[in-house]
Amino acid sequence: MNPTDLPLGRHVDYPTGYDAALLYPIPRALGRAAIGVDDAAPGFVGVDRWHAYELSWLDGRGKPRVATATITVPAHSPNLVESKSLKLYLNSFNATRFGSDDEVAARMAADLSACAGAPVDVAFGLPPIDEAEAHARAESIDGLDVDIDCYGPPDAALLAIEADAIVDETLTSALLKSNCPVTGQPDWARISIAYRGPRLDRAALLRYLVSFRDHAEFHEQCVERVFTDLRARARPESLSVEARYTRRGGLDINPWRATADRAAPTPGRDERQ
């Protein structure tokens, strides 16, 4: 069989040189309008933290350099950066010479800031894997004995609270899955929900999270949907939602959204990342 006859996706030309035009912005307002969020005042703070595992360029003498990088995009930026375009853009550095590592980081920060419409931070290196620490401070709901039959679209009506109990806790699930709206490929994540307010019905929360399973939406928009649905249905005094997506194409993304009183979570990676 000819490989071109296989369902392996469309051929994409490999970049032959550095090209910032490969970056593709997606207006955040589009996804926020779908969940009734005012893009000018969304009611949350947050960042999208990308980890890049496959990064290389040539030094001034043509010798390859390799690195990893952490890219932080503020949630208040007008645009999110589409992931496949980010991968193609990073690949465009592979055959291009740069005078120093600092020049590469500065070029990336400038290009990504222009794409996102707000200052983006680029730092070489990755945060440590902290799966054990994350589990120590959060309680998994994945072991609940529940029947589930809703796999999309996401249904906020599945959420329920115990109004007579006020708690301050962090719940986590590794069963979040959605699909990329561009390629249709699956996106997998562990999600952590830290809140103070009426106790969430855990079985209901798990059913709700699984209802994303056949849903097509960007990672960032999924997290904003979870945050918005929890805030509307449970009305917590304080809320933080972070999802750590497994890598695809040498990239993983970790969107975080929270009420203004919440400090940003310590950057870290899961063992699946």
Positive/negative CA dihedral, 122, 193, 76, 30 = positive
pLDDT at 171: 97
**Given 111, 187, 252, 270, the catalytic residue:** 187
Q: Is the pLDDT score of 133 beyond 60? A: no
**Given 150, 180, 201, 214, the catalytic residue:** 180
pLDDT band at 6 (very low <50, low <70, confident <90, very high): very low
Q: Which residues, listed in sequence order, are joined to residue 122 by a DSSP beta bridge?
A: 71
Whether a cis peptide bond, with omega within 30° of 0, leads into 15 is no
Displacement of CA 255 from its chain's centroid (Å): 4
CA-wise closest residue to 9 among 217, 218, 183: 183
Report how far apart, in Å, the C-alpha atoms of 243 and of each of 96, 102, 226 are.
Answer: 34, 30, 10
Question: By the 8 A CB rule, do 190 and 129 touch?
Answer: no
Domain map (residue ranges) of the chain: 3-124, 131-258
What topology does CATH give the domain 131-258? GTP Cyclohydrolase I, domain 2 (3.30.1130)
Q: Per the structure block, which two tokens stand in for 3?
A: 């490989």
Structure confidence by residue, pLDDT tens digits, 142-152:
999 999 999 99
Q: What is the pTM of this model?
A: 0.93
Say whether 115 is catalytic: no
Can 3-124 and 131-258 be said to share one CATH topology? Answer: yes
Average pLDDT of the segment spanning 77-92: 96
Q: What is the residue type of 67?
A: A
Which residue did the predictor score with more confidence, 209 or 10?
A: 209
Architecture of domain 3-124 in CATH?
Answer: 2-Layer Sandwich (3.30)
Say whether 19 is catalytic: no
pLDDT at 122: 98
pLDDT at 14: 75
**Averaged pLDDT of the chain:** 93
